[in-house]
Amino acid sequence: MSDDRSLPRPACLTGSPAGRALTAELTARWAEPHRRYHTTAHLRAVLAAIEPLAAQAADADAVRLAAWFHDAVYDGRPGRDEERSAQLAQARLPACGLSPERVAEVARLVRLTAGHTYEPGDANAAVLCDADLAILGAPPETYDAYTRAVREEYRHVPGDAFRAGRAAVLRALLGKPRLYGTPVGRDLWEDRARENMTRELSAL
């Protein structure tokens, strides 16, 4: 895509031939034709959502890198996709000059996006998960477009099974005392996210 060059990139993805090659690989992965929601547009949205939260992260660049990798492998297999994406980060990032500790942190964060659950005080995880879930607090028309795209990605799943699974996901999210782990995230998205999900659940 012509506008992929506008995606924010940590220095390790631009500062060396290995970094530039990795950027090209990741960009191609996010643009795979079978994707409908987990696309370059989603990556761009997550990276944008990180910025108002970045000051609350312990390592904002690790969070940004984890965003680049968090759905880099996407076959519509929850859990397995995140694990393979984390393994991709572990395989590729050392060649870009990252320390083993930072590589491990990026991979850890990617794995956490499978369930968006983490320990209290895990600032990096809170920022990444809030940014990944920011779509839930989008304006209603944007949220509705998101739900249609998710359904297209699971078009191989029969309607009844999809509705049951989706309803279970929504109920689990709505049952949490807080959807967002950062104060800024809660201020930006919490109320509208609950309204959107309640509306979708009623429609299911």
Cα distances from 3 to residues 8, 27, 41, 139, 152, in angstroms, run 11, 11, 10, 24, 24
Task: Give pLDDT, residue 2.
Answer: 39
Tokens of 17: 């031939």
pLDDT one-digit tens code per residue, 185-202: 999 999 999 999 999 999
Closest CA to 179 of 165, 196, 195, 193: 193
pLDDT one-digit tens code per residue, 36-49: 999 999 999 999 99
Cα distances from 194 to residues 66, 115, 191, in angstroms, run 26, 18, 5
Q: Name residue, tokens 């994707």.
A: 35
Tokens of 178: 């807080």
Distance CA 90, CA 32 (A): 21
Shared domain for 110 and 198, answered yes or no, is: no
Q: Which residues contact 115 (CB under 8 A, 6 or more apart)?
A: none
* Mean pLDDT of the region 1-9: 61
pLDDT one-digit tens code per residue, 94-139: 999 999 999 999 999 999 999 999 999 999 999 999 999 999 999 9
Cα-trace Rg, the chain: 17
For residues 156 and 137, which has the higher predicted lDDT (pLDDT)?
137
Residue 54 lies in a domain: yes
Confidence class of residue 10 from pLDDT cuts 50, 70 and 90? confident
Question: pTM score, two decimals?
Answer: 0.93
Distance CA 127, CA 172 (A): 20
Residue 68, pLDDT > 60, answer yes
Number of domains in the chain: 2
Residue 3 lies in a domain: no
Tokens of 99: 């320390």
- Domain boundary among the residues 72, 102, 125 is at 125
Shared domain for 18 and 113, answered yes or no, is: yes
- Domain boundary among the residues 69, 103, 125 is at 125
Task: Give pLDDT, residue 1.
Answer: 37
Shared domain for 33 and 117, answered yes or no, is: yes
Shared domain for 94 and 152, answered yes or no, is: no
Task: Give pLDDT, residue 11.
Answer: 84
Shared domain for 97 and 155, answered yes or no, is: no
* Mean pLDDT of the region 63-85: 95
* Domain with 38 in it: 8-125
Shared domain for 26 and 109, answered yes or no, is: yes
Q: Are 52 and 187 in contact (CB under 8 A)?
A: no
Task: Give pLDDT, residue 5.
Answer: 57
Shared domain for 114 and 141, answered yes or no, is: no
- Domain boundary among the residues 106, 125, 144 is at 125
Among 35-39, 73-77, 97-101, 159-163, where is mean pLDDT lowest? 73-77
